[in-house]
Amino acid sequence: MEKRILRILSDLQPHSAKELAEVTHRFGDIIHKLRGKGYEIATIQSAGNKPAYYKLVSLAVV
């Protein structure tokens, strides 16, 4: 699942929580793990009750 989420985010465009939840309902845990591996992933809050968006800002430095 981690690779699938990373593949989606790799276009460097914002992706909704709804879109990522279609891959796995535990996408938040995967984003947390990717951040721990050095990937910079921004969380973009939407106004009101709309879901957040996630955007890969930079790739991990190995």
> CA dist 45 to 2, 3, 31, Å?
22, 24, 15
Q: How high is the pLDDT of residue 46?
A: 79
Contact 52, 44 (CB under 8 A): yes
Pick from 8, 49, 40: nearest CA to 27:
8
Residue 21 φ then ψ, to 5°: -65, -20
Q: Which amino acid is at 3?
A: K
pLDDT tens-digit readout, 8-61: 999 999 999 999 999 999 999 999 999 999 999 999 987 887 779 999 998 766
Q: How high is the pLDDT of residue 25?
A: 94
What is the pTM (predicted TM-score) of this model?
0.85
